[in-house]
Each structure stands twice: as structure tokens, then as C-alpha cells.
């Protein structure tokens, strides 16, 4: 979060840390609906750190949403120990996230954020934006 902010990106936390702010902004009541409303209206990219129960729940929802709603990037960060597992996670959501965005298997203790920053910088410079980093209508 610190490195993204230092590079000029606005970072909004989801899951537990950001739920109360979203609850106040959007009034649908369900956390996942509030997050999707925020993503639709104000988000150019989702960076998901798959490291908790909530993040794995979000992953399925976000992959499905990004797959059907172009214009929002998805970057998934996963512990490298899961990279070669033959699992539903790798063959489903992680594979789809990589197809519609980017999945990176990393060592969280020594993770170099440059691949994430580079992707987001390129995305930021590739679009004319309206709102928070979103592609302009018709662009």
C-alpha cells in the first residue's frame, strides 16, 4: 500500500479494513455488493493479496466480475508455495485472474512490488481517464 501511494496511486482498502467506509458510501447492505458498486464507479484496478478467508471469497467474486466487465484490471498475489498445486484454486480463480488480469505467485516476506507498480503505471498511461483511473466512456 505504501509503495502504491508513494507512486501516486489512490489506494482504498477492501475487506475488513475498508468495509465500514464502503458501508457508509453504498447502502445495499451486503459487503460484496458494496465493494462491487465501488469498483464499478471508481476503481481502475483491483490488487488482491490472497492471504485470508475474506480475500479468497473476494477472489471468486472479483474474477467473475472482471471477466464480464472489461475496464478494471485484476492483479492477484498468491503465496508461491501454492504455485504448482493441482487444485480448484489454481485451475479456476487463479487461472482466470491471470487470463483477465495477472496472477503473481510470490514470497510475501520478500516481495518486490515492481511488477505490480509497472503494470499499474502502464495501465495508467494507456488510458484517458474519467474518475479514478477508469477508462473514459468510448475510449
Q: Provide the residue-wise pLDDT of the chain in tens; the chain has 139 residues.
A: 889 989 888 888 776 566 666 667 776 677 788 788 888 887 889 999 998 888 888 899 899 888 887 778 999 999 999 999 999 999 999 999 999 999 999 999 999 999 999 999 887 765 544 455 444 444 4
For residue 84, being part of any structural domain is answered with: yes
For residue 39, being part of any structural domain is answered with: no
pLDDT score, position 33: 81
- Alpha-carbon torsion 139, 46, 91, 112, what sign? positive
Q: What does the alpha-carbon distance between residue 103 and residue 90 come to, in Å, rounded to a whole number?
A: 10
For residue 95, being part of any structural domain is answered with: yes
Cα 121–chain centre separation: 15
For residue 97, being part of any structural domain is answered with: yes
pLDDT score, position 139: 40
Residue 88 CB coordination number (10 Å): 9
Q: How many folded domains does the chain comprise?
A: 1
pTM for the structure as a whole:
0.81
For residue 37, being part of any structural domain is answered with: no
Domain around 68: 2-9+44-126
Residue 135 CB coordination number (10 Å): 17
3-state helix vs strand vs coil in the chain, percent to 5:
50, 15, 35
pLDDT score, position 124: 74
Cell readout for 114 is: 515492481
Amino acid at each position: 500500500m505504501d509503495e502504491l501511494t508513494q507512486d501516486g496511486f489512490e489506494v482504498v482498502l477492501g475487506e475488513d479494513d475498508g468495509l465500514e467506509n464502503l458501508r457508509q458510501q453504498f447502502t445495499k447492505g451486503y459487503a460484496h455488493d458494496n465493494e462491487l458498486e465501488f469498483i464499478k464507479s471508481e476503481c481502475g484496478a483491483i490488487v488482491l493479496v490472497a492471504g485470508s478467508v475474506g480475500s479468497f471469497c473476494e477472489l471468486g467474486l472479483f474474477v467473475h466480475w472482471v471477466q464480464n466487465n472489461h475496464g478494471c484490471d485484476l492483479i492477484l498475489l498468491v503465496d508461491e508455495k501454492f504455485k504448482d498445486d493441482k487444485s480448484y484454486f489454481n485451475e479456476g480463480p487463479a487461472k482466470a485472474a491471470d487470463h483477465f488480469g495477472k496472477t503473481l505467485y510470490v514470497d510475501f516476506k520478500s516481495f518486490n512490488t515492481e511488477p505490480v507498480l509497472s503494470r499499474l503505471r502502464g495501465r495508467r498511461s494507456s488510458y484517458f481517464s474519467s474518475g479514478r483511473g477508469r477508462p473514459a466512456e468510448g475510449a
